[in-house]
């Protein structure tokens, strides 16, 4: 941390700040500039957050962090990329992880039809929502346990492992039992009780970015899982909230190279939620791979106009197959496989 003092701070004030820094277990290092005095606090990072409280002193202009606050998620602690193994698929490896399926599990028929078709088109993980976080209490809330069972059956039928969302600590066990990857949705990225609970399962976790979560905060949420003893975290960029309304969210592909620099965790991209419109999914899926993502998660529905959720952004299976063909070409150009 760097503590910037106000201009005109007295030497008593400088001494007071230094004493407080020492009392918190850090070594103060003072730089007297022409206009201001700046004090660096050197020492173990673990609790540096507390130094921020110095900003409440009248003589302190502001307190600026210098280092990234996450550890286990950082490249500094682990420089080689993490590969999350799911049922024989190495997420983060040379081959892309392609997760596809409907927004919501709606029926056995729908689920089996989609599962077979996305597999044929090249998907290697099946997605589907059984517990649905819906903005409105009047919207379809998912088939819940019944949906989990249908997912599991479709998984057995096709051999594809399953990723599905869990929304509350009490449901972690039942969801874990019926799935291979636990998805933490955007609205729960800072549901810390839930993060601690999924850490305990040791199952792979797909951690979506919140719609207004900074990359740093997102990695701190990953840190909750990692420090809880579960190293199997997959990050998923799914769009942030900005002023632009031409897309439902603003898919932030910049996050891909930024994450590749900061962390060893694998990164997948969700162009369906990120754009909110089926016509934009293909372009952004290809762009995500070109940006260096390790995979995609895409919504596919046999009859989007009748979908109970997310119809506007769902691809028909045939369209998904076309997208896959083009994604494959981009992947090859970058020496990856899909």
Q: Should residue 55 be labelled a site residue for its own copies when binding is judged by CB under 8 A? A: yes
Pair 241, 250: CB distance under 8 Å: yes
**Alpha helix ranges (H) inside 97-237:** 108-121, 145-158, 172-178, 192-201, 215-227
CB of 317 to its own copies, least distance (A): 13
| Site residues (CB under 8 A) for its own copies, limited to 82-121 | none
Neighbours of 20 (CB within 10 A): 18
Q: What gap in Å lies between CA 321 and CA 324, rounded to an integer?
A: 5
First vs last C-alpha separation in the chain: 44
Are 214 and 63 in contact by the 8 Å Cβ rule? The answer is no
Does residue 81 bind its own copies (CB under 8 A)?
Answer: no
Q: Which residue has the tokens 């130094």?
A: 51
Residue 242 binding its own copies, by CB under 8 A: yes
29 CB contacts (<8 Å, ≥6 apart)? 39, 40, 41, 42
In the complex with its own copies, which residue's Cβ is closer, 1 or 118? 1
Smallest gap from residue 326 Cβ to its own copies (A):
8
Which residue is associated with the tokens 């919501």? Answer: 104
Of residues 132 through 151, those in contact with its own copies by CB under 8 A are 133-140
- Identified binder of its own copies from the candidate list 13, 168, 174, 321, rule CB under 8 A: 168
**Between 157 and 292, whose beta carbon lies closer to its own copies?**
292
85 vs 279 by CB, closer to its own copies:
279
Q: Which stretch binds its own copies (CB under 8 A): 62-70, 83-91, 112-120, 152-160?
A: 62-70
The yes or no reply on residue 80 touching its own copies (CB under 8 A) is no
**Helices assigned H by DSSP within the chain:** 11-23, 108-121, 145-158, 172-178, 192-201, 215-227, 255-262, 271-275, 278-291, 317-333
Closest CA to 100 of 124, 120, 83: 124
Separation between Cα atoms, residue 218 and residue 235, nearest integer Å: 9
Using CB under 8 A, which of the segments 105-113, 153-161, 175-183, 210-218 binds its own copies?
210-218
Give the one residue of 158, 179, 183, 191 binding its own copies; rule: CB under 8 A: 191
Residues 260-319 that bind its own copies (CB under 8 A): 260-261, 274-275, 277-280, 282-284, 286-292, 304-308, 311-314
Binding-site size for its own copies (CB under 8 A) equals 116
Distance in Å, CB of 109 to its own copies, minimum: 18
Q: Which residues pair with 162 in a beta bridge?
A: 126
- Smallest distance from the beta carbon of 179 to its own copies, in angstroms? 18
Dist CA 149 CA 334 (whole Å): 38
3-state helix, strand, coil in the chain (%, to 5): 40, 20, 40
Q: Which stretch binds its own copies (CB under 8 A): 107-115, 147-155, 172-180, 240-248?
A: 240-248
Considering only 30-38, 80-88, 92-100, 120-128, which stretch makes contact with its own copies by CB under 8 A? 30-38
Query: Helix, strand or coil for residue 295?
Result: strand
11 makes contact with its own copies (CB under 8 A): no
| Residue 241 binds to its own copies (criterion: CB under 8 A) | yes
Q: How far is the CB of 37 from its own copies (least distance, A)?
A: 10
Using rule CB under 8 A, residue 15 touches its own copies: no
Least separation, in Å, of the C-beta of 72 and its own copies? 9
Q: What are phi and psi of 81, to 5 degrees?
A: -65, 140
């Amino acid at each position: 941390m760097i503590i910037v003092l106000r201009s005109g701070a007295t030497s008593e004030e400088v001494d007071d700040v230094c004493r407080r820094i020492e009392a918190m277990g850090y070594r103060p290092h003072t730089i007297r500039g022409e206009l201001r005095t700046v004090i660096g606090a050197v020492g173990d990072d673990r609790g540096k957050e507390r130094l921020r409280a110095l900003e409440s002193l009248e003589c302190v202009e502001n307190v600026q962090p210098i280092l990234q606050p996450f550890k286990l998620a950082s490249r500094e602690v682990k420089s080689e990329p993490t590969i999350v193994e799911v049922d024989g698929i190495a997420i983060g490896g040379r081959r892309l992880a392609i997760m596809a399926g409907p927004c919501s599990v709606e029926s056995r028929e729908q689920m089996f039809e989609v599962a077979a078709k996305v597999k044929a088109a090249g998907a290697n993980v099946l997605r589907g929502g059984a517990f649905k976080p819906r903005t409105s209490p009047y919207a379809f809330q998912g088939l819940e346990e019944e949906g989990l069972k249908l997912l599991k059956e479709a998984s057995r039928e096709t051999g594809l492992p399953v990723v599905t969302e869990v929304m509350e600590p009490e449901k972690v066990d039942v969801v874990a039992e019926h799935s291979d990857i636990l998805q933490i949705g955007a609205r729960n990225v800072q549901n810390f009780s839930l993060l601690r609970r999924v850490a305990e399962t040791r199952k792979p976790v797909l951690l979506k970015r919140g719609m207004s979560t900074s990359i740093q905060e997102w990695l701190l949420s990953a840190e909750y899982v990692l420090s809880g003893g579960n190293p199997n975290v997959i990050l998923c960029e799914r769009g942030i909230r900005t002023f632009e309304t031409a897309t439902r969210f603003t898919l932030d592909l910049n996050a891909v190279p930024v994450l590749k620099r900061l962390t060893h965790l694998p990164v997948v991209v969700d162009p369906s939620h990120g754009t909110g419109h089926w016509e934009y999914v293909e372009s952004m899926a290809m762009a995500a791979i070109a940006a260096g993502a390790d995979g995609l998660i895409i919504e596919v529905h046999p009859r989007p106009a009748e979908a109970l959720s997310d119809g506007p952004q769902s691809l028909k299976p045939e369209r998904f197959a076309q997208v896959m063909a083009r994604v494959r070409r981009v992947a090859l150009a970058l020496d990856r496989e899909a």
